[in-house]
Structure 1
Amino acid sequence: MRAVVFHGKEDLRVQDIAEPAPGPGQVKLRNAYAGICGSDLHVYYAPAEAGLDLEHPHPLTGATLPQVLGHEFAGTVVELGEGVEGVTVGDRVAVWPIYNCGQCAACRKGAFNACRTIGFHGLTSHGGGMAEFTTVDASKLHVLPESVDLRLGALVEPMAVAWHAVEKSGVKAGGTALIAGAGPIGVGVWFALKGHGVENVIVSEPSPVRRAAVEALGATVVDPTSEDLAARVAELTNGDGVDVAFDAAGVGVAVASALANLAPLGRVVVVALHERTMEFFPTQLVMGETEIVGALGYLPEDFDAVIAAMADGLYDTTGWVDEVGFDAVEETIHALRSGKGMKFLVSSEA
């Protein structure tokens, strides 16, 4: 079968590999779509800095390079392994791709997404979504209802990242919010806030392409390089500041602007990965009793919530999601790195 295989830093190949067979408790999927994630860019350009061990097997999966990519994906069940129940051939599914140890301090608290030795199917595993087929544990499957197609199904994973961030924010229906960054996760946060009953939202984004895309969805958008973000937030909140703010940009200035526009007792949620350190003035936290928290990945219940919201028609992919084939993945990674485009789904049939 054809697959997109990562061999090392800036070494990505489309090649023929063996078609997998499901073991006990597993299913075989015919993959439909797999998203190209910011994590894929980190792995491609700086695998060691992204936490990928290029020399040793993963402690949970035993996987080593080369690695089939694609950890945000959806497909159709085509074969069941021994002992699989509750899933049938023909089911269309999204995959919760996390491998966790179940024993570390995070896992003992139920925070499987923060496992100390976490792995991901399609990053540190025996397969991934950027292949014609893959095998996964049946326990990782989330069956899609008829109203959610496989294209949306491949977006469950990144949208669950955003949903989890909104859950971590603690925002209540009717609250106010600021989103710094209108990439795929920022867009996902905007949708998730709507799903939580939060309509009073400002999105701050310097890229004209990304501003236009999220504005077309109905968002209130500010260009922080040419507009007074603080004045727009004050206008939105009658001078109070926002209840919650989200760093979906991964740059220090985004966190700084989020902190500066918080209401007293507000909370900043950092959901983006940062490549550089930043400085901030801790007294900002003290004087307003504000908080900074991190949000990593998702839990299975976040997948369920996103799928239910998709079934209710909350999500719209118009203008920010494009499709490419296997052969275009590497050039698409280069394009995303240079700031072109927003979200790309890799189709196994393109």
Structure 2
Amino acid sequence: MKAAVFHAAQDLRIEDAPEPAPGPGEVKLRNAFAGICGSDLHVYYTPEAAGLDFEHPHPVTGSTLPQILGHEFSGTVVELGEGVTDVKVGDRVAVWPIYYCGTCAACRRGMYNACRTIGFHGLSSHGGGMAEYTTVPAAKVHVLPENVDLRMGALVEPMAVAWHAVSRSGVSAGGTALVAGAGPIGIGVWLGLRARGVTDVLVSEPSAARRATIAALGARVVDPVNDDLAAAVAELTDGDGVDVAFDAAGAGPAVTSSLASLAPGGRVVVVAIHERPMEFLPTQLVMGETEIAGALAYAPEDFDAVIAAMSEGAYDTTGWVDEVGLEGVVDAIHSLRGGLGAKILVKAG
């Protein structure tokens, strides 16, 4: 079968790979679409910084390089392994791709998304979604309803990242929010907020192209560089400040401006990965009894919630989702690294 196989930094090859067969408790999928995300870019350009080890097997999965990529993907069940009864051949599914140890402090608290030795199918496993086929434990598949197609199914994973961040914020319907960053996760946060009845939302994004993309979906936007962000927040909230803010940009100024935009008792949720340290004055937290929280990945219930919201029509892919064939993966990675486009889905089959 054809697959996008990562060998080393900036060495991703479209090549033949063995077609897998499901073991006990597993299903074989004919992959449909796989998204390229920021993690894939980190892996491609700086695999060591992304946590890939060239010398030692992954402590949970036992996998080593080379690695088939694609951890946000959808597919159709084509074969069942021994003992699988909860899904059937022909089911269209999204895959919760996390592998966890089950014994670390996070796992003992049920926080499998924060496992100290976490692995992902399509990043540190025996296969991935950027191939014609893959096998996964049946417990990891989430069946898509009839009105959620496989293209949308490949977006469940990144939208679940955003959904989990909204859950971490504690915001309720009727609340107010600021979203810093209008990339795929920022768009997902805005869509997730809207799905939960939070409609007074301001999106802060310095890129004119990204502002235009999310504005076309109906978002209220502001340029934090050339416009007055504080005035825009005041206008949205009658001067109170927002209940919650989200850093989906991964930049220090996004966090500091989010903190300054909070109402008393508000919360900033950091969902982006930062490559550089930042400074802020903790007195900001003290004086308003505000707080900063992190949000990492997702739980299985986040997948279920996103799929349900998709089924209800809460997600719109107009203008921000593009597609390429498997042969176009490397060019797509280069484009995204250069700031072009938002979400690119790879047609795996």
**TM tier, shorter chain?**
over 0.9
Q: What is the CA–CA distance in structure 2 between the aligned matches of 1:101 and 1:345, rounded to whole Å?
A: 30
Cα distance in 2 for residues equivalent to 1:228 and 1:329: 39
Alignment partner, residue 127 of structure 1: 127
Aligned to 1:259: 259
Q: Where does residue 89 of structure 1 map in the other structure? A: 89
Residue identity opposite 2:318 in structure 1: T
- For residues 161 and 53 of structure 1, the distance between their equivalents in structure 2, rounded to whole angstroms, comes to 24
Separation in 2, partners of 1:183, 1:295: 16
Match of 1:158 in 2: 158
Give a deviation string over 1:63-112, Cα, whole Å, max 9, x none. 00000000000000000000001110000000000001111111111110
Instruction: Measure, in 2, the Cα distance between the counterparts of 1:271 and 1:155.
Output: 17
| Equivalence for 2:281 | 281
Distance in 2, Cα, partners of 1:220 & 1:260: 19
How far apart are residue 174 of structure 1 and its match?
A: 0.3
In 1, the alpha carbon distance for the partners of 2:296 and 2:203 equals 21
The answer to whether structure 1 residue 28 and structure 2 residue 38 are counterparts is no
The match for 2:145 is: 145
CA-to-partner distance for each residue in 1:140-195, whole Å, 9 max, x for gaps? 01000000000000000000000000000000110000000000000000010011
What corresponds to 2:324 in structure 1? 324
- Which amino acid in 2 is paired with 1:285? L
How many residue pairs match? The answer is 349
- 1:209 deviation in Å? 1.1
* Distance in 2, Cα, partners of 1:222 & 1:84: 50
Q: Please give the TM-score of this superposition, normalised by the length of structure 2.
A: 0.99
Match of 1:65 in 2: 65
Give the Cα–Cα distance (whole angstroms) in 2 for the partners of residues 69 and 253 of structure 1: 32
> Does 2:173 match 1:173?
yes
Tell me the equivalent position of 1:191: 191
What is the rounded CA distance, in whole Å, between the counterparts of 2:8 and 2:240 in structure 1?
49
Tell me which residue corresponds to 1:341.
341
1:219 aligns with 2:219: yes
Q: CA deviation at 1:52?
A: 1.4
Any gaps of 5 or more consecutive residues in structure 1?
A: none
2:206 counterpart letter in structure 1: P
> Partners in 2 of 1:251 and 1:51 — Cα distance?
21
1:147 counterpart SS class:
coil
**Partner Cα separation in structure 1 for residue 9 and residue 124 of structure 2:** 15
Work out the CA distance in 1 between the residues paired with 2:205 and 2:310: 25
User: What displacement does 1:348 show?
Assistant: 1.8
Q: Name the counterpart of 1:114.
A: 114
Query: Structure 1 residue runs of 4+, over 2 Å off?
Result: none
The corresponding residue for 2:307 is: 307
Which secondary structure does the structure 1 equivalent of 2:213 belong to?
helix
Output the CA distance in 2 between the equivalents of 1:334 and 1:277: 26
- SS of 1:53 mapped into structure 2: coil
2:101 corresponds in structure 1 to 101
Q: Match for residue 9 of structure 2? A: 9
Shift of 1:12: 0.5
Q: Aligned partners of 1:348, 1:308: CA distance in 2, in Å? A: 25
CA displacement at 1:226 relative to structure 2: 1.1
Secondary structure of the 2:243 match is strand
- The Cα shift of 1:331 comes to 1.1
Return the offset for 1:239.
0.5
Shift of 1:208: 1.1
Amino acid at match of 1:82: E
Q: CA offset at residue 51 of structure 1? A: 1.4
